[in-house]
A and B are shown apart, each in its own frame.
Chain A
Amino acid sequence: MRVLESGNHLIALAANVAGVEVVPAYPITPQTQVIEMIADLIAEGKMDAEYIPVESEHSACAALVSASLTGVRAFSATSAHGLAYMHEMLHYAAGIRVPVVMVNVNRALGPGWNIWCDHQDSISQRDTGWLQVYVASHQEAVDTVIQAYRITEDHRVLMPLMLNMDAFVLSHTYMDADVPGREEVEAYLPPYRPLWKLDPRLPMTHGSVVYPVDFSETRQSMQIGQDNARQVVYEAADEFMRAFGRRHGDMVDGYKLEDAEHLIVAMGSLAAESRVAVDEMRAAGRAVGLLRVRFFRPFPIDELRSLCSGRSGLMVIDRDFSYGMEGALFSEVKAALYGHADVPSTNLIVGLGGRDVTYEQIREAADRAFRGEADEVTWGDSHITKAHEITREMLAEFDKLLSP
């Protein structure tokens, strides 16, 4: 059914047709509409699921893990500080190998307090073991919720999946999208069949002490799950294409790559905006393409090596920053290419805390980068002025206050 809806509401509708059975969640801007709508759907009898209003995100993730361990399909959603508060339980979910899906509406971390979009929240959870996918459109958000359970529940994977969707730009924007019917989805995504579950008929303990003699094995097995996900992501995208006629890429999504000399590399909605920049540069006779990194974990190592090899240059856009280093996506791209494809690369940091990024800005930055005029790392939209500094007068006041 085609609908005109906000990204958040589309996520709720997609969770419903995906046959989600338990939803523990705690509200936080800009995610709130997701769980509001799920609560409404359940209250109206349109969704057959249990909603658990918990007292914090830490508990939301604990309940998410526990629900999944009893053998049901579980879903949650959060954002920014909520995700950060879950941090310990994110490790738990991955370590105990539950196939859950959680939507993270990407929002900046404060202070300075900010409810708007950037990727700092999910990038900060890079090493928790969760699969991470970043969507660029409303339709992709719907389709990826459905694909997500195919990926995470595959017995070769069994790692939790975090679906990242940009705050406001996608979450609160109304666009048209198709939400397939429950029956159609069920043919693609059958009801969840756990490999095993917690059941009083066969009591057992899971996730207790693991001594050094076995610990590395549990960790390597998590990496095997992540590695296996690469193949499963392709299968899920291919079968989705056959069932619904739509494909949004797989590990990556390429745009006008064929004869491109230079590539823009980006994630999330900035990659959609970058398409327009690529169109403009192509119209001006420039051989530029776009490589959208869709899965950040597992990282598309092979795809980057084969698709970047032989190009004249890359500009990697980060909507995040690893302090003391550079944009996180930039580091990862270079690490993947090292020793395999020697391509000059630069990093553009833009759009932090919801700063609006236009295709013109991306085009101008790419023009500079591909002429070889950009610094290794460019803060593309930051302009520190006197107004951003603490004044001498203010410091003098403090000096008086602090003097005995």
Chain B
Amino acid sequence: MFEIRVHGLGGQGAVTLVNWVAQAGYAVDEHVQAFPFFGAERRGAPVKAFVRIDDNPINLRSQVYRPDLLVIMSSDLTGMAIADGLTPDGKVLLNAGPELAERLAARFSREMLYLDATGIALELGLEFDGMPMVNLPLLGAMTRLSGAAPLDVVLGIVREVAGRRGNVEAYESAVRQGWEGIQVVEAGMSAPVSEGATDYDLSRSGVTPIEP
């Protein structure tokens, strides 16, 4: 069984993302399960979502506490996401550029995979309700890392949605860039940043910071 936990912010498309990953696995005859944890359903609130993929029917109904792959859609959530648990050799995939990924790899003293999903989505002009569609590049990266399905199957999943919105090329490009663009940064590449530094430029993501 391959288990994935996704941490994102409400509005980033985490729930759609896990459903797409499950659809990809399902398309190649795997048994799949995808579900969110529904907390406060509002934009900007932390959201968790889960995927299980297995050759056999799945009996587990609980949340995923030791994922093989931990996906962090917004780097603000890195500490919370890692604290929620991971397998010892589990992979962490960050939505971040190289500098931020290096800082976080140093701060959390662990190897991290990263992908600038926000950058890819913005470059392709892919926004939904004013938010960059980071879930498209992440879908490519997650299906590759989980071995859920080959790239052509994954592209087939988004083609239908993209067709309805008349944006097939951009969607496919985003997924392909995610599939091909996974980078790795080893633990301890640079000095830890000071506590309280802002890792993520919220204005760029379109997320309105929540008042304390």
Contacts and interface: CB of A to CB of B under 8 A. Distances in A.
Contact of B62 (A115, A170, A174, A357): A357
Given A172-B38, A173-B34, A176-B31, A4 B23 contact: yes
A241 interface: no
- Measured as residues with beta carbon below 8 angstroms from the partner, the interface class of chain B is 10 to 19
Given A4-B22, A115-B38, A173 B60 contact: no
Interface string B48-74: 000000000011111101000000000
14 contacts: A4-B26, A4-B32, A116-B38, A166-B61, A168-B35, A169-B61, A173-B33, A174-B35, A176-B26, A176-B31, A176-B32, A270-B61, A272-B59, A356-B62
Interface of A: 4, 115-116, 166, 168-170, 172-176, 269-270, 272-273, 275-276, 356-359
Q: A-B pairs with the 3 shortest C-beta distances?
A: A173-B35, A358-B62, A269-B61
Contacts of B23: 4
Nearest to B62: A358
Given A172-B38, A174-B19, A175-B32, A356 B59 contact: no
The secondary structure that dominates the A interface is: mixed
B119 to A, nearest CB: 29
B62 A359 contact: yes
Give the residue among A4, A116, A166, A170 with the most B Cβ atoms within 10 A.
Answer: A4
A276 B59 CA distance: 7
B188 interface: no
Nearest to A276: B59
Contacts of B22: 4, 174
A273 B33 CA distance: 14
A175 B59 contact: no
B36 interface: yes
Interface string B2-44: 0000000000000000010011001000011111101000000
A176 B31 CA distance: 7
A359 B22 CA distance: 22
Contact of B60 (A170, A172, A276): A276
A172 B35 contact: yes
A86 B206 CA distance: 44
B36 A172 contact: yes
Contacts of B19: 174
A175 B38 contact: no
A166 B62 CA distance: 12
Give the residue among A169, A175, A272, A357 with the most B Cβ atoms within 10 A.
Answer: A175
Contacts of B31: 175-176
